[in-house]
Amino acid sequence: MQFDDMELMQLQFCMSQTKKMMSMGGEIRRHASITQKIEEEMDRRKNATGAYTREGILRQLDEEISQLEAKAPDYGVGK
């Protein structure tokens, strides 16, 4: 599966919210294993691209704004 940075962050949040719902040993181990894999991938991305850092988030927002501006009709706003 491929997740973008924000999807991975959302998945990490979901895992943190569901941790207390695990009751059986197998559930707890699988939950911990999945959580560890998510955190390892987030760390890898943080080190490789600066994801999940202030600079990385600002860069991603700039890219998204540029994409939206490219798709938006030109109404002469700001000119």
Let me know if residue 35 belongs to a domain: yes
How many Cα atoms sit within 13 Å of 66 on the Cβ side?
6
Let me know if residue 77 belongs to a domain: no
**Residue 79, number of CB atoms within 10 A of its CB:** 5
Give the mean pLDDT of 6-13.
94
Let me know if residue 75 belongs to a domain: no
**Does pLDDT of 78 surpass 80?**
no
pLDDT at 56 (0 to 100): 86
| Position 50 confidence tier, pLDDT thresholds 50, 70, 90 | confident
Give the total number of structural domains in the chain.
Answer: 1
pLDDT at 36 (0 to 100): 97
Higher-scoring residue by pLDDT: 45, 75:
45
Give the mean pLDDT of 31-45.
96
Instruction: Provide the residue range defining the domain that includes 38.
Output: 5-11+22-70
pLDDT at 6 (0 to 100): 86
Let me know if residue 56 belongs to a domain: yes
